[in-house]
Amino acid sequence: MAAGDAVCVGGHGTGCADRLSGSRSHVRRVGVGRPAAAPREPRGVSGLVTVAKTAQSGAPGHAATPDSGERKEWPQSSRPLCTHTLAHRLPCGLWMGSGPRAMNDIGDYVGSNLEISWLPNLDGLIEGYARNFRPGIGGPPVNVALAIEVASIDHISEANMEYTMTVFLHQSWRDSRLSYNHTNETLGLDSRFVDKLWLPDTFIVNAKSAWFHDVTVENKLIRLQPDGVILYSIRITSTVACDMDLAKYPMDEQDCMLHLESYGYSSEDIVYYWSENQGQIHGLDRLQLAQFTITSYRFTTELMNFKSAGQFPRLSLHVHLRRNRGVYIIQSYMPSILLVAMSWVSFWISQAAVPARVSLGITTVLTMTTLMVSARSSLPRASAIKALDVYFWICYVFVFAALVEYAFAHFNADYRKKQKAKVKVKEQRVEMDVKNAIVLFSLSAAGVTQELAASRRQCRAPGNLMGSYRSVEVETEETKKQGPQGGLRALFKPIDADTIDIYARAVFPAAFAAVNVIYWAAYAM
């Protein structure tokens, strides 16, 4: 490379050439790794390499080869800048080779020889700067514009009534004490410079806990414009309280809010407002939540009155969430329906299979109880009755009713057997009494002594024939007395067990279907 050539790093080689003093420069670009007319330069720099040939009328710089380790020296008035960005404003006269040697040269050059005249004197700006006082203290309040970008909503807990959100909070205000007129460039400053500035004391009102991110560095951004406008951005993860109405759980919709407010400055010192660019929240449309769907959001601004401290401005973000019902239908509703249907199987089992019907009924009842307990473990112990609780109890009643149905049918079957046995015994006793009366009449007509008749009537209370008549008469009167009671019992006449099962096979499914229609109409619509 000939003496007088300059190497510029970055994609703004023409900018370098324009800044060269003297005659017009001839600029050509050589892409790394592709053929060019000029010899290929060492691969010490990625990107585009611009070679600017200059014809200096004054004292030319001293040429140096890449291996010589020497720097090209440019006149102070003709040191060009390589790029238009602040981070890469290096003199074009700087030769960059490959390896640690080149990096050391850059550091040495920047640390010792770099002088950028347009940069404002930050030390002069903050000299006498009182960071403990707001801008324009004693005058009108500071207008602070807020904007939010949602990175994630990680967890929504019904048990604790909270959600966790990671956001980028952008705040912008004007501090005339930091204005400068050296250039129109916006300065991107190091995050450590934040400690030297006044900042709004914005906090999250309904936050339970919050923390900043500091990997790999503190996630803070600060930019300073010439007119003193400051943009301050931070990344925050916060667990925020959300008052939930769980009466329709899991078919509920929740409105979770994020309240931002000044902690110490009243409305006389700070006025918050949403940025004009905050027409929508960036990131919400890309979020995929496990249990909820974000249907809408809105912004509100209000003044909070505190008797002891005054009025404080508050900005609120309202996020409307609708719970996804699919997972609950699979985990809670479908198992409950299947358990109820399983309890109906006992209606088709014989009444004589007592162990089978009893075990089936008890198993379904215990399983339903376990399902209810496990579903409620993830919910707060609130006094409000939730829609899922109502459905569980509906299913529990039907499962328990199926068990009671078998008990009722079995009781009726057993009662009918006992009644038939009693009737048979009574019929046998009446038949025996009639036979005994006939025998006594026959013996009396034949002249049989009373002793023989008494021996034949040992099982009977009467001691003579008249007693036999009385016995028959007494039994007849007792039967007449039992007549009205038998009529009363006829109103509660036992039903055949098989008939009960036949009715249950139709009544239980129809009743369960009707209750489901009422339930889903009340809670889902």
| 439 and 357 together in one domain | yes
Segment 66-97, tens digit of pLDDT: 344 444 444 443 344 343 333 333 334 333 33
Q: In sequence order, what are the residues at sequence separation of 6 or more whose Cβ sits closer than 8 angstroms to the Cβ of residue 149?
A: 167, 168, 170, 281, 282, 283
Nearest-angstrom CA–CA distance, 16 and 48: 13
* SS3 track for 434-499: HHHHHHHHHHHHCCCCHHHHHHHCCCCCCCCHHHHHHHHHHHHHHHHHHHHHHHHHHHCCCCCHHH
Q: Tell me: pLDDT of 181 over 50.
A: yes
Confidence of residue 455 (pLDDT cuts 50, 70, 90): low
- Residue 170 to residue 146: CA distance in whole angstroms: 6
Question: Residue 120: pLDDT band by 50, 70, 90 thresholds?
Answer: confident
Q: Looking at the domain assignment, is residue 83 inside a domain?
A: yes
> Tens digit of pLDDT for each residue in 214-246?
888 889 999 999 999 999 999 999 999 999 988
- 60 domain residue, yes or no: yes
Name the 3-class secondary structure at 255: strand
State how far the Cα of 16 lies from the Cα of 51, in Å rounded to an integer: 10
The pLDDT of residue 454: 57
Beta bridge partners of 315: 260, 301
Residue ranges of alpha helices (H) inside 220-353 are 326-328, 334-343
Residue 443: domain span: 326-525
- Is pLDDT at 256 greater than 90 in this prediction? yes
pLDDT of residue 56: 36
pLDDT at position 109 is 37
Closest by CA position to 462, among listed 481, 500, 491, 436: 436
Q: Say if residue 387's pLDDT is above 60.
A: yes
**Could you tell me whether strands 220-224 and 229-241 are parallel, antiparallel, or unpaired per DSSP bridges?**
antiparallel
- For 179, the 3-state DSSP assignment is coil
Taking the C-alpha atoms of residue 206 and residue 259, their distance in angstroms, rounded to an integer, is 6
Q: Indicate whether 59 and 159 sit together in one domain.
A: no
Maximum C-alpha span of the chain: 176
For residues 147 and 279, membership in a common domain is answered with yes
**Domain total in the chain:** 3
pLDDT (tens digit, 9 = 90+) per residue, 481-525? 454 455 545 555 667 778 888 999 999 999 999 999 999 999 987
In the three-class reduction of DSSP (H, G, I as helix; E, B as strand; rest coil), residue 248 is classed as coil
d(CA 302, CA 311): 10
pLDDT surpasses 60 at 302: yes
Same domain? For 375 and 493 the reply is: yes
Rounded CA separation 425/230 (Å) = 106
Coil vs helix vs strand at 342: helix
Nearest to 479 by CA among 433, 416, 440: 433
User: Are residues 440 and 525 both part of a single domain?
Assistant: yes
What percent of the chain has a predicted confidence (pLDDT) above 90? 37
CA distance 141 to 127: 24
Q: Identify whether 117 is part of a domain.
A: no
With 80 as the cut, is the pLDDT of residue 288 above it?
yes
Check: CB of residue 154 under 8 Å from CB of residue 287. Answer: no
Read off the pLDDT of residues 17-33 as tens digits, 9 standing for 90 and up: 343 333 333 333 333 33
Across 396-418, average pLDDT: 84
Answer yes or no: is 499 within a domain.
yes
Q: Please tell me whether residues 291 and 186 are part of one structural domain.
A: yes
299 and 167 co-located in one domain = yes
- Average pLDDT of the chain, as a whole number: 73
| 118 within a domain of the structure (yes/no) | no
The CA radius of gyration of the chain, in Å to the nearest whole number, is: 49
Whether residue 311 is contained in a domain is answered as yes
β-partners of residue 116 are none
